[in-house]
Amino acid sequence: MSIIDRDFMEATVTSKGQVTIPVEIRRRSGIKKNTKVRFELKQDGDIEMRVVNGHNSEDEKELLHTIQGLIGQYRTVMAYLKDR
């Protein structure tokens, strides 16, 4: 089985805590210079790494909640000013 056919690859952590992501993983996942990745520590101690593609549902939910709050405040102020 070639390295390309495997679903996993190994790398060594340096004394500085750095790991080089194997070239085949970078190529297949679209990781290039300055690509952001996110690490998640699982309950069982495993670590999951994901490419950050700019869309984070939690961030989007928080942004939507903030915008909804601002719209509510805007409406309150506009109603107050209209009644003056």
Distance separating alpha carbons of residues 17 and 19, to the nearest angstrom: 7
Fold of 1-53: Pemi-like Protein 1; Chain: D (2.10.260)
Domain ranges of the chain: 1-53, 54-84
Q: Given a cut of 60, is residue 4 above it in pLDDT? A: no
* pTM of structure: 0.52
Q: What is the pLDDT of residues 10-19, one digit of tens each?
A: 999 999 999 9
Tens digit of pLDDT for each residue in 68-83?
Answer: 999 999 999 999 998 8
Burial 12-44 (b: 16+ CB within 10 A, else e): eeeeeeeeeeeeeeeeeeebeeeeeeeeeeeee
CB 51 within 8 A of CB 35: yes
- With bands split at pLDDT 50, 70 and 90, how would you rate the model's confidence at 1? very low
Name the band, by pLDDT with cuts 50, 70 and 90, for residue 3.
low
